[in-house]
A and B are shown apart, each in its own frame.
Chain A
């Protein structure tokens, strides 16, 4: 009867894996340094995870290690020019960064709050505007370097608990056998490139979308390369403006977004085909600026049919819901681009089928990779951190084994539930907006207009 019942329960035994490397016997293992948590990957998400745990009361006497393959970057002096890698930080992410004291540093360096987001179609007049009623900030555009600088400061502040290993790429992981059976070490072993080894009770993989932790744990990853690359650049506007609106226009080749950096500068994120992206990088600065302005202003993709249909729908809405159509603002025009700031990187979709295993958890891009069109990438990662840190904190306060699947599964369920719908929706949007076929354009036109008119749906977004 017992066996039959256990057959009904989720196959947790499958999560207790043993890999190709044999775990150490107890004598050898005793010689290796043992950490409570090792975070593999020192990017924004990995560093924030280590910082948040380091500042948690219940982790006061615990030992945490952060492994970063690259060298320690000094952020003492913030360059005058803006970096071309920026992120849109949601208020929730700002709260998380506050909790470990990093947000104050970000604010004292530089960031740009935006109040409004205008998203519209290149093939029609349809538009959706996101705005908080109480004129609160919707989000913040922050350079990734600024976030890293703030996190590095906060890691330094808890150096007695968090040890950061720079130039320490993890090259191999050894997984423990199920703990009840043996005389071998129950911990995860991490081997670094220089041959050093450590042990940990919980390994957190924050090593990006081609995560080694995920691969070595043999966690299946659903992935798809979009045939798109994102072109980024730092742009200077024709005239100074409040610049507190984030702009995004869906072109048939992909969305182009302008994210405010200051009253006179904005960051470009233009997702387009690989060929077009290479062209954009190769062309001279004037042509580049012209392409951007044309992308935002030209109505070349409109058709009379769609315009009429759209207009009809709009008047129907304004009849039923007078407040349902927003005022269309005009995006700023671009004057010039920062010389060295153009760059491109390929885009893809990824989602790990499992976020956790015995003594392992994946966060950030290691667990999920999305298209930048929703500006959600790093926010999903910060959301993962908030959830995992909460569960780990409670587990520590209960004296639990930090690597226990019990609370790790709770983290996985909560985050998968949240992430899957957003990732799927982002993917659908990307595909929906990649076409000029009239029926689909009409569908998304009306859909966008309807969504714009319906507060409940907009709030959920």
Chain B
């Protein structure tokens, strides 16, 4: 029970435990005005919406089992878009009816996002942007959101575990966490860095550091040991010729995860890494608790 006590005590996070990496911030600062060029540097992220939005929409509705609202399927659902950048993902979610809060540490990104949404009165009302890190909003947003999306973000954070803990704090019990990121494999080095950045320019050079890529096993482990239950892990593949994404079996390159925060009564265990069998046992008991 010691771990539970530790988990619920509110502790202000100092910047040394911050999940924001200042080096990463500088990289995105330079491209802040390029977000909305569908054919530009962020083209691959624009087309990623074709698979990540349906994934979020579908799995959210499945786990919410709320009444489906015609024309606005995500109506009434509060979503936090962490690392929202220029708002590429916030806007489609807003169009589907959700109330979206988009946060990003880079001020220029937020400025771009605010300006872009301002022309659409419906979106302007549904989406709120804030220049902030995740930790900075934890205090005022405890258990506020139904859904958190962290798309193409966890490979840029300084401390993944802190990040996940914060997600858990601002998420309502049984809320959903959606993550898309890149696996740490030889293949992801060759295709994700060498080809994508240096050769084909699909991703601006220097965007990613292979060292910070996250294998799905590690992510799952961190999630499960911080009060989440992993519902789905799907591989994703980008076809540079067609400029489109598709779902695939293998998670060796890009992948997406849907995890659900355990209900109020379920316990979260210590952060020490447990042997695999213990993790599986834990998930099983959490399910029956």
Task: List chain A positions with a Cβ less than 8 A from chain B.
Answer: 1-3, 5-6, 9, 12-13, 26, 29-30, 34, 57-62, 178-181, 183, 185-187, 396-401, 404-406
Contact = CB atoms under 8 A, between A and B. Distances in A.
A399 B199 contact: no
Contacts of A61: 70-72, 97
A400 B91 CA distance: 8
B70 A34 contact: no
A277 to B, nearest CB: 50
A60 B70 contact: yes
Given A1-B201, A34-B120, A180-B40, A399 B70 contact: no
A400 B70 contact: no
15 contacts: A1-B200, A2-B200, A9-B243, A26-B118, A59-B71, A61-B70, A178-B37, A187-B119, A397-B73, A399-B53, A399-B91, A399-B93, A399-B95, A401-B91, A406-B50
Contacts of B116: 179
A23 B172 CA distance: 44
Contacts of B72: 60-61
Contacts of A5: 200-201, 240
Contacts of B96: 399
A404 B34 CA distance: 17
A180 B201 contact: no
Interface in B18-55: 33-40, 47, 49-50, 53-54
Contact of B50 (A58, A60, A181, A398): A398
B39 A62 contact: no
Q: Which 3 pairs between the two chains have the least Cβ-Cβ distance? A: A2-B201, A60-B71, A399-B92
A29 B124 CA distance: 14
Nearest to B244: A406
B159 to A, nearest CB: 31
B98 to A, nearest CB: 9
Contacts of A12: 39
B71 A179 contact: no
Given A399-B49, A399-B96, 7 more contacts: A1-B200, A3-B201, A26-B119, A62-B71, A185-B119, A397-B57, A406-B47
Interface residues of B, number: 37
A186 B91 CA distance: 15
Nearest to B118: A26
Given A60-B71, A180-B34, A400 B92 contact: yes
Nearest to A186: B119
Nearest to A61: B71
Nearest to B121: A34
B94 interface: yes
A399 to B, nearest CB: 3
Interface string B60-76: 00000000001111000
B231 interface: no
A257 to B, nearest CB: 44
A178 B38 CA distance: 9
Contacts of A398: 49-50, 53-54, 57, 92
A180 B119 contact: no
Contacts of B33: 180
B115 interface: yes
A401 to B, nearest CB: 8
Nearest to B96: A399
Given A399-B91, A399-B93, A58 B53 contact: no
A185 B115 CA distance: 11
A30 B201 CA distance: 37
Nearest to B73: A397
A34 B119 CA distance: 9
Contacts of B35: 180
A405 B37 CA distance: 12
Contacts of A406: 38, 47, 50
B41 to A, nearest CB: 8
Contact of B115 (A1, A59, A183, A401): A183
Centre residue among A13, A58, A398 by max chain B CB count within 10 A: A398
A51 B35 CA distance: 35
